[in-house]
Amino acid sequence: MGNKSSKGKGMPANIEPESEEYWWWHAEKTLTPIDSCEEFCERFKSTPEVYNGIVEEFNGLVKKSFPDDPSKDYISYEGWLTMRPGEPNKKCLDLIWKGFDLDSNGKITLDEFLVFQGISTAGTLEQKAMGSFWMLDQNHDHKIGRDEIALLMRASGEASGASHSDEEIGHLSDFVLKFVDKDKNGSIELSELISVARSDEKIADIFRI
């Protein structure tokens, strides 16, 4: 998503506040890998104690990934699956894994891990929406379609122990899409998700991964 060359660049003057372009400019900043404690604290208005706790959690997952190789500095998929050992299925963890792996190289590094754990522990409502949107937008076309909503419904349902038929998943997906898709173009944009999340906590919870 974000790249380190974009850090420090100001928003262009021609971007309209609260527009789709406005929120994607902020998303680019929010989802850029984090290099330091100072950068983490500034982005999420957080503290060194929170940063250090996330780094400790990361190091623990690296050790679980490679118990016999202390030279490794990233989380493997196998190590990732130990993050929630009681998870009844892998769909939800797979969805989150793809989001954390910002460069899609099959490994999660500390600078990536800090982004999403920062969003989870200290992010604003808007930052949380950006993180959820990124995870659900599987093909990264800046839209969440019905199939991607269905993936969320199925993963969330099975993670909670619920079992829904394909028909039930379809009805749930249609309801969510109809409610959030304000311009009725058949998909959810980031600005729409943020707007609904601000006004409806129940809908915000549906998208919180």
DSSP SS3 for 74:
strand
Q: What is the pLDDT of residue 26?
A: 95
CB atoms under 10 Å from CB of 95, counted, come to 20
CATH assignment of the domain containing 199: 1.10.238.10
**Domain annotation covers residue 124:** yes
Please check whether residue 40 is in contact with residue 118, taking contact to mean a CB–CB distance below 8 angstroms: yes
**Domain annotation covers residue 10:** no
Domain coverage including residue 160: 16-206
Helices 190-199 and 166-180: angle between axes, nearest 10 degrees: 90
**Domain annotation covers residue 8:** no
**Domain annotation covers residue 186:** yes
**Domain annotation covers residue 5:** no
DSSP SS3 for 188:
strand
**Domain annotation covers residue 191:** yes
Q: State the total domains in the chain.
A: 1
Specify the pairing of strand 74-75 against strand 108-109: antiparallel
95-115 residue pLDDT tens: 888 889 999 999 999 999 999
pTM of the prediction? 0.85
What is the pLDDT tens value at each position of the chain, 209 positions in all?
A: 655 555 556 888 899 999 999 999 999 999 999 999 999 999 999 999 999 999 999 999 999 999 999 999 999 988 888 776 655 567 778 888 888 999 999 999 999 999 999 999 999 999 999 999 999 998 889 999 999 998 888 777 666 666 778 898 899 899 999 999 999 999 999 999 999 999 988 777 777 76
DSSP SS3 for 167:
helix
Q: According to DSSP H, which parts of 31-124 are helical?
A: 37-44, 48-65, 77-80, 91-100, 110-122
Q: Which of 165, 65, 168 is nearest to 108 (CA)?
A: 65
**Domain annotation covers residue 88:** yes
**Domain annotation covers residue 7:** no
Q: What is the pLDDT of residue 201?
A: 81
Pull the structure tokens for residue 167.
């028909």
Tell me the longest C-alpha to C-alpha distance in the chain: 53
